[in-house]
Amino acid sequence: MSKIVWSKIDEAPALATYSLLPIVNAFTKAAGVEVVLSDISLAGRVLAAMGLAEDELSKLGELCVKPEANIIKLPNVSASLGQLKDCIAELQGQGYNIPNYPENPTTDAEKEIQAKYSGCLGSAVNPVLREGNSDRRAAVAVKNFAKKNPHKLKAFSENSKAYVAHMEGKGDFYGNEKSVTVDKDQKVTIALNGKTLKTIDAVADEVLDGTFMSVKALRAFYKKTIEDAKAKGLIWSVHLKATMMKISDPIMFGHAFEIFFESVFTKYAAEFKELGVNPNLGMSDLEKKIKGHAKEAEIKAAFQAVVNADAPKIAMVDSDKGTTNFNAPNDIIIDASMPVVVREGGKQWDRTGAALETVAVIPDSTYGMFHAEMVADCVAHGQFDVTTMGTMQNIGLMAQKAEEYGSHPTTFELSETGTVTVTAQDGTVLMSFECEAGDIWRMSRAKDIPIKDWVRLTVERTRQEGIPAVFWLDENRAHDAQMILKAKKYLAELDTDGLDIQFMDITSATRFTNTRIRQGLNTIAVTGNVLRDHLTDMYPILELGTSAKMLSIVPLLAGGGLYETGAGGSAPKHVEQFLKEGHLRWDSLGEFLALAESLRSLGHKYSDDKIKALTAALDAANNSYLDNSKEPGRKAGEPDNKASHFYLAQYWAKALAEGSNAELAAKFAPVAKALVENEAKIMEELMAVEGKPQNIGGYFHPNDELAEKAMRPSATLNAIIDAI
């Protein structure tokens, strides 16, 4: 029997799995395909780190380098420190004997505990599983549906003041970057003033980048943008990715928090030091630390005084709850927050819920340039038209921990002023940097085999699509200059006759892509790893209303496949709504599409007609799901995620019953009949739980029995599915 591994992850898609997976397995087993769960959730990884569960993530990583790998990977939490601590507390409350996270370890035992837990922070899952490059695009049926049923994009006002601010010159990661390609396998050492920070095993032809963020320049930049926002009457908002960039971005977040409320942090410096306040964790953690302190009310009043008098308005994450942009670093995820700025016409919300124009503050110009051009384009030319706009497809370099997302082990907040050196095994200094205490220094890496595969995949997709492909590489960025040399070398080894493949810097590539999109034309963006994330949230959210509906295929280097179910995070607000009123508005279309691609791969690999028939029927079911608008409603009292799974099952069974495979047709004809005839009863049973609070025994670590009961409330549907 062929096997597909389905990842057990977190929050909304994890809840949806309790309802969807029994349906999937009932259908796939009929074609000799078994779908098995692998727990790579945050809670699962925490328990594994403490030796209380199998290390499923490592096992899955080992599978990814084997040709038989076929994995469906749902969106998982890239945990911030706050989320990790909440998860630990929940597991302790469930009776697991695990220690607290030591924020400031002093003993060797505490340092060991911190190291184990730290492996669960940030982008812990993706670098392990992504042993291939990324092919992301909207399925044709999904794109056509979006054009026929356009979601709302808000107009940019005439003479809009909205803009993106990013650093310029020599202060940020872009300006300070140096890059080399090593000529052989060797150990490379990173040192600060001669003291080793890290030694890595570099491989031949690997690109190594070194760079740093000047904290002095960063803080000056923040002050300037705050003053500008105040002068222009704009909301001030900072956009970072502290979940994935778990070392650098929380530090940059903390500096933003300190600068915005500089007078408060200066006045109460002694109290904050005494209480262990860490600005990198945001206001929510600060409020926990000062709770019960003699000056708690005074400190809160001081923060409020800044908000009332001395500062521009702060963008709100949740106006109804009073949650600001400074609440917690994991609340502001740039590839999710910036598409909203564009979607809302250059606006964000203030604490009254009013949408006002914003200055979106993105310190590092490496990616700030893309967002700056997106907003500037809409200010100049108006909002995009969903009914006519073309599409952006993306080929992303991400295999083997490529680039910044693999930089966590080589990112350092420098403890002293001096020289950072990167030294080859023979003692040659490859790069050196003059830095100050507190600067954020990092090394990123990109191995040659993934780069070569990235170029190959670009040529393959460009030929299949017959549209232009653009390498978003800037010759003035040190890393990109190395990548341009490699990309042109490998392009010369491939058949590119008749293909339109170009190289452009970030701003030019954005303009080129947007001009074509406004003309209804399609373009392939060929990007590095982090920029891949930014583009494949921005454009799909504008085109489709969500990035969760994108096809996200990772052809693994060893020959297997990783099928990601779109982006969109793990939707914590969806879980909050479900617990409160039994309504899950998570749309599983990403899972449906990923499953179809996963099955298609198996059918092709094994020349299996039964699997091919199952895949064709699922394609038909996905089209019916879209054509009949069976996506979950947003409000309680409307059909939700559970109902969407029922309709997928009904459409899939009908397509199989009418399909060309006689065995499957005979098996699913009575299933289709039962699902059609019992539709009213099934929907009545599913709708009966709407508006009712749900207890699933845990947020990060639900009780499987309770969660399955909550997500499978229709006895009639369950009986039909379980009998297949």
Q: Which residue, 540, 488, 483, is CA-closest to 506?
A: 483
Residue 424 placed within a domain? no
Find residue 556's DSSP bridge partners: 132
Q: Dump strand ranges (E) for 214-268.
A: 235-238
Residue 547 placed within a domain? no
User: Given a cut of 80, is residue 567 above it in pLDDT?
Assistant: no
Residue 433 placed within a domain? no
User: What is the C-alpha to C-alpha distance for residues 5 and 393, in angstroms, rounded to an integer?
Assistant: 26
In the prediction, which pLDDT does 124 show? 86
The two structure tokens encoding residue 165: 């601010």
Residue 330 placed within a domain? yes
Amino acid at 126: N
Tell me the per-residue pLDDT of 159-206, one tens digit each, with 9 for 90 and over.
999 999 999 989 999 999 999 999 999 999 999 999 999 999 999 999
pLDDT (mean) for 688-694: 96
User: What is the C-alpha to C-alpha distance for residues 655 and 621, in angstroms, rounded to an integer?
Assistant: 7
CB 555 within 8 A of CB 61: no
Q: Which residue, 439, 541, 407, is CA-closest to 122?
A: 407
Q: What is the DSSP letter of 244?
A: T
User: What is the C-alpha to C-alpha distance for residues 111 and 291, in angstroms, rounded to an integer?
Assistant: 27
CB 235 within 8 A of CB 250: no
User: What is the C-alpha to C-alpha distance for residues 398 and 127, in angstroms, rounded to an integer?
Assistant: 8
pLDDT confidence tier of residue 569, bands split at 50, 70 and 90: low
| Poorest-pLDDT segment among 202-211, 323-332, 672-681 | 323-332
The two structure tokens encoding residue 600: 């298609």
Domain span at residue 317?
A: 163-171+215-381
In the prediction, which pLDDT does 19 show? 98
Tell me the per-residue pLDDT of 106-163, one tens digit each, with 9 for 90 and over.
999 999 999 999 999 987 898 899 899 999 999 888 999 999 999 999 999 999 999 9
3 state SS of 229: helix
Residue 545 placed within a domain? no
User: What is the C-alpha to C-alpha distance for residues 523 and 509, in angstroms, rounded to an integer?
Assistant: 10
The two structure tokens encoding residue 676: 């059609």
Looking at every residue in the chain, the average pLDDT score rounds to 95
Put simply, whether the predicted model's pTM sits higher than 0.85 gets the answer yes
Tell me the per-residue pLDDT of 378-429, one tens digit each, with 9 for 90 and over.
999 999 999 999 999 999 999 988 888 889 899 999 999 999 999 999 999 9
Q: How many DSSP H helices and E strands does the chain contain?
A: 28, 24
Dihedral of alpha carbons 604, 606, 609, 611, sign = negative
Task: Please give the span between the terminal C-alpha atoms of the chain, in angstroms, as a whole number.
Answer: 17
Tell me the per-residue pLDDT of 599-649, one tens digit each, with 9 for 90 and over.
999 999 999 999 999 999 999 999 999 999 999 999 999 999 999 999 999
pLDDT confidence tier of residue 335, bands split at 50, 70 and 90: confident
Amino acid at 470: V
- Do you know the residue count of the chain? 724
In the prediction, which pLDDT does 77 show? 85
**Measured between alpha carbons, how far is residue 401 from residues 98, 124, 189, 192, 562 in Å?**
30, 11, 19, 24, 15
Residue 347 placed within a domain? yes
Residue 515 placed within a domain? no
User: Given a cut of 70, is residue 444 above it in pLDDT?
Assistant: yes
User: What is the C-alpha to C-alpha distance for residues 10 and 75, in angstroms, rounded to an integer?
Assistant: 8
Kind and range of the H or E run holding 434 = strand 429-435
Q: What are phi and psi of 324, to 5 degrees?
A: -90, 175
Residue 647 placed within a domain? no
pLDDT (mean) for 79-91: 93
Q: Which residue, 375, 315, 318, 368, is CA-closest to 345?
A: 375
The contacts of residue 463 (CB under 8 Å, 6+ apart) are 499
Q: Provide the CB-side half-sphere exposure for 638 (13 A, CA).
A: 13
pLDDT (mean) for 359-373: 97
Kind and range of the H or E run holding 297 = helix 296-305
User: What is the C-alpha to C-alpha distance for residues 46 and 247, in angstroms, rounded to an integer?
Assistant: 19
User: Given a cut of 90, is residue 565 above it in pLDDT?
Assistant: no
Q: Dump strand ranges (E) for 262-410.
A: 316-318, 323-324, 347-349, 355-361, 392-396
DSSP H helical segments within 32-73, as ranges? 42-49, 56-64
pLDDT (mean) for 681-686: 98
User: Given a cut of 90, is residue 332 above it in pLDDT?
Assistant: no
Q: How many domains are contained in the chain?
A: 1
pLDDT confidence tier of residue 24, bands split at 50, 70 and 90: very high
Rounded to 10°, the helix 641-657/662-677 angle is 140
In the prediction, which pLDDT does 570 show? 59
